[in-house]
A = this chain, B = another copy of it.
Amino acid sequence: MQTLLNRQVLLKARPSGIPQAEHFEIVETPVPAPNEGQIVVRNQYLAVEPAMRGWVSNVGNYAEPVPLGGVMRAFTVGRVVASRSPGCAVGDVVTGMFGWQDHAVVDGSMVQRRITDLELPISTALGVLGLNGLTAYFALLDLGQPKAGETVVVSTAAGAVGSCVGQIAKLKGCRTVGIAGGAQKTALCLSEFGYDHAIDYRADQLEERLAEACPNGIDVYFDNTAGAISDAVLKHLAVGARVIICGTASIASWNPPPLGPRVERHLLVKRARMQGFLIFDFADRYPEGLRALTDWVKAGQIHYREDILDGIEHAPDAIAGLYRGENLGKRLIRIAAD
């Protein structure tokens, strides 16, 4: 095949907190020819995740940090444009951790999923039908164990994961309360994601509104924030509550760990539990989750939003933008037409 030029987003400097545009640089390099067993993937959508903050940090984490000078690690969806791997054919639509770049030359075994049902847009493979939806599904159902009639509170309620948590909880017969930042997101919580109540943590009296919305306490709290919102929610737990720790978006840096009100007494008095969640622990059950999520999305029972930036030049600032709360829905970068 002819030599292709590859735009790649490299990690240039290691941030101590949230990665900003200046921590990345865009370079252009030739795409190497694939070796035996390798494929070339033309990425179409690059994902942007809050978790990327952890991937570039060298503070204790669940994976090795992205090396300085390396292509930014990212989930992508794209098409196979060359293959020397027997399992992959040119034209296959595939997802994998193919990085923030136009083309990825990787071993065929790096394909995480081959998408054969093309009825829904392929971008969904990075959001509601990808790790975001799967996170919502397993975190809520396995760790949260919601029962019909219970009250489920979701922080980052309009986000890619949170919006899905709220809708699954509703499908399971729960009362749902979403916490989000700003009038636009809280409106979306009510109009699009079916929450029974939506609280704007920037404008509303969070504690009072929580007390009103959860008169019998909170049975399940799905958290992506770990800051002042959690401190308020934990005061309203019901006996036997389950708190799912999925992310810590409101904490700018964990080095050193910030202080907060101690949680032990809440847990003790309410016999509640707090549990950390990592989607990769559920890898062998992804097919189960994807089947359920696909059915719900096709049936119109789960709605999703995407926030699509056009062009790889948006990548360097895209994570910082997430933490500024500027996206509505799953943030993606489109670098090639469908």
Contact = CB atoms under 8 A, between A and B. Distances in A.
B259 A261 contact: yes
A60 B264 CA distance: 13
Contact of A274 (B248, B257, B273): B273
A259 B226 CA distance: 14
How big is chain A's contact interface, by range?
A: 35 or more
Contacts of A266: 276
Given A60-B269, A268-B248, A269-B61, A263 B261 contact: no
B230 A264 contact: yes
Given A259-B259, A269-B60, A269-B62, A248 B276 contact: no
A240 to B, nearest CB: 9
Nearest to A274: B274
Contacts of A245: 264, 267-268
Contacts of A271: 275-278, 281
A262 B226 contact: yes
Interface string A64-82: 0000000000000000000
A230 B259 CA distance: 14
Contact of A267 (B256, B268, B270, B274): B274
Contact of A254 (B265, B270, B273): B265
Contacts of A258: 261-262
Interface in A232-269: 245-248, 251, 254, 256-269
A198 interface: no
A276 B281 contact: no
A197 B61 CA distance: 28
Interface in A252-308: 254, 256-278, 281
Nearest to A267: B276
B274 A278 contact: no
Contacts of A62: 269
A179 to B, nearest CB: 16
Nearest to A230: B264
Contacts of A273: 273-276
A230 B264 CA distance: 10
B272 A262 contact: no
A83 to B, nearest CB: 36
Contact of A265 (B223, B257, B262, B272): B257
A129 to B, nearest CB: 23
Contacts of A254: 265
B260 A268 contact: no
A270 B274 CA distance: 12
A274 B268 contact: no
Residue from A245, A246, A277, A281 with most neighbouring chain B CB atoms (10 Å):
A245
Interface in A150-177: none
Across chains A and B, which 9 residue pairs bring their CB atoms closest together, nearest first? A267-B276, A273-B275, A268-B276, A226-B264, A259-B259, A257-B261, A260-B262, A271-B276, A245-B267
Interface of A: 60-62, 223, 226, 230, 245-248, 251, 254, 256-278, 281
6 contacts: A245-B264, A246-B268, A248-B264, A260-B261, A264-B274, A271-B277
